[in-house]
Amino acid sequence: MTRQLALDLGHRPALQRDDFLVAAANQDAVAWIDRWPDWPHFALAIAGPAGAGKSHLAAVWQARAGATTAPDPAQVAPHGRYVMDDADRVADETTFLHLYNLTAERGGNLLLIARDPPARWPLRLPDLRSRLASVPVAQLAAPDDALLAAVMVKQFADRQLRPADDVVLYILARIERSFAAVRRIVAALDQAALSGGRPVTVALAREVLRDQEP
């Protein structure tokens, strides 16, 4: 029996970016972003493994809220909205603490992006640790096959390519489970198809994947 792809996923516009596809792996985090500015806390942490879409979802909020990259504490503006990427790896915890406090005092918002929730961060400053303990966490899971397939189909369509389902299934069984891997293989197949004047087939996918092997 031919395996069918479940591609009936919802989608939302990621302002200034590609559509952000919604699935079980990210729906809770999407709900948190949709809830802004009605957050129960001025800050929110988005946590999840590499390739789960943390930065993409943060970009959706950044565009919607008019947020910028977290500045030096001296530049925190009234009602400023900021995104801090790799928040679990910030070297200067004192500066982080000042930024956190000033954003709260001035009625702003702070979105923290990390692989793990704040409770697991190796923080040394007790004051920073205690403050971050109250921050809600939007957890992203690693993308499942349905979500990766939907992302792959969309990225192919963006390049005016519409390979058969068997091509998508073949690729999914042979790449790492991340959006970054999907982007790489779609770009490589597009280039190979253009340069060789060939359609995107399982045979072409096999050749491209073989060429990408270390």
Residue 21 binned pLDDT confidence (cut-offs 50, 70, 90): confident
Residue 6 lies in a domain: no
Burial tier of 161 (Cβ tally within 10 Å: 0-12, 13-18, 19+): middle
Q: Residue 132 has what DSSP assignment? A: H
Over residues 11-31, mean pLDDT? 70
Residue 14 binned pLDDT confidence (cut-offs 50, 70, 90): very low
Q: Using an 8 Å Cβ cutoff, are 159 and 153 in contact?
A: no
Which structural domain range is residue 207 located in?
A: 143-212
Between helix 179-196 and helix 145-158 the angle, nearest 10°, is 40
* Residue 58 and residue 95 in one domain: yes
| pLDDT value for 15 | 40
pLDDT in tens, 171-185: 999 999 888 899 899
pLDDT in tens, 186-208: 999 999 999 999 999 999 999 99
| pLDDT value for 2 | 41
| pLDDT value for 19 | 66
- Domain closes at, from 139, 169, 189: 139
Residue 169 lies in a domain: yes
Q: For residue 78, give the CATH number of its domain.
A: 3.40.50.300
Lowest mean pLDDT of 3-12, 18-27, 28-37, 69-78, name the range: 3-12
| Nearest CA among 157, 104, 146, 153 for reference residue 128 | 104
* Residue 118 and residue 150 in one domain: no
- Domain closes at, from 114, 139, 164: 139
- DSSP assignment of 49-80 equals -TTSSHHHHHHHHHHHHT-EE---GGGPPTT-
Residue 113: how many other CB atoms lie within 10 Å: 19
Residue 33 lies in a domain: yes
* Residue 101 and residue 165 in one domain: no
